[in-house]
Structure 1
């Protein structure tokens, strides 16, 4: 029996860390910020990745006007949402669909890779889709979150840097980002950090979309997904 105890304990440790990372709130004490919700943002997710969708208005177009210098059509009048995510350069760029998964990008995601920002323009996004969650921020929290998102873009000589020949379609682009990526501190922990900048509470460590979503429900940030 003793020969089975060590593998059992070692197997339970990661599970315990994941549970605690979801249950323990971050920040531990609810932030003292303006809590009057006046801005809606959307949290978009698939089984492994999360994005933040911001409703486009003239103020937001102005905030991200520098993306236009790299060829991103932020001023496109028929676009309703700006969708932004952060991730590992190799896997993010080279895996637009599950059918495009390749061993080397997966290996880099599991070790250490450079990071990129992905920006996309979309039409209106229905709230009743299972991969969409509505969150509400105060005006102050929204501004702080937008500022933190902008700070995630790598700049050289005061300009954001697009990744040449990297896009999924006609409405999106990839940009160089600050920070290094690995699966333990990846896209979903970045999303959680941006939401905390907006005044929401998340779990302490939520490397999976499902854990981030659950932590938002547990710590009172909004209603759960339908």
Structure 2
């Protein structure tokens, strides 16, 4: 009996130590890798404005609603918002876990099952879009001027993040929004501790040949590159 108890205690100790080691390694990676820059010297002289916009936790990439490179009004429809119509010059894209997006409008609504699925690659994803007439730069909203070529790379990245239907159209998730000027769509990929909403935004900046972190799961890692 004593030997059995010892085996159980040894297994429990190893399990706990394994968890502690994982957490320490994860936090160390977060702390170190966001400090390593990618595309430190992007092409200068761009005339297309984009923004990285954070709510303090989650980063959106905000792009022109329509220009010579891309007309988003053909994919992201005003009629799929509660307002049904609006005057807008920009549209924001934010990728994330579908359960978080649709079932957790406030942090107080967060369920343990939703958090577990999101953390361990068990949920599905969605794209949140929002129309803006204008944006104001501040500590959590940074304007970046990029070239047409680089913007085309960013556009391609965003487009490929959507889950398309058989007609190659973006799939609107009806009945869900945070306000009058936003909408949700089905998206590709799965959220996890290693690929978060901010990782997605950081990868988008890489696709557009802009300054980005080597890897980051949180918004501060992105904005650190623009300080």
Shorter-chain TM-score tier: 0.7 to 0.9
Give, in angstroms, the shift of residue 12 of structure 1: 4.4
Where does residue 37 of structure 1 map in the other structure? Answer: 46
Instruction: State the shift of 1:89 in Å.
Output: 0.4
Taking a change above 3 Å as real, the CA distance of residues 56 and 49 of structure 1, as seen in their structure-2 partners, is: same
TM-score, normalization by structure 1 = 0.79
CA contact 1:73–1:171 (8 Å) conserved in 2: yes
Moved more, 174-183 or 34-43: 34-43
1:154–1:178 CA contact under 8 A, matched in 2: yes
**RMSD (Å) for aligned C-alpha atoms:** 2.9
Is contact 1:87–1:186 with CA below 8 Å preserved after alignment?
A: yes
Q: Which residue of 2 aligns with 1:115?
A: 125
Alpha carbons 2:65, 2:73 under 8 Å: kept: no
In the other structure, the counterpart of 1:3 is none
What is aligned with 2:7? none
Question: What does residue 198 of structure 1 align with?
Answer: 208
What secondary structure, in the 3-state scheme, does the structure 2 residue paired with 1:180 have? coil
Q: Could you say which residue in structure 2 is the equivalent of 1:220?
A: none
Q: Extract unaligned runs of 5+ from structure 1.
A: 1-5, 218-223
Q: 3-state SS of the aligned residue for 2:47?
A: strand
What's 1:221 paired with? none
- Alignment pair present for 1:187 and 2:207: no
| Aligned twin of 2:103 | 94
* 1:154-194 deviations in Å (ceiling 9; x for gaps): 11211211113222222211111111111321111110111
Q: How far apart are the structure 1 equivalents of 2:183 and 2:85?
A: 14
Unpaired segments ≥5 residues, structure 2: 1-16
How many residues matched?
A: 208
Larger Rg: 2
Q: Which structure has the highest strand share of the two?
A: 1
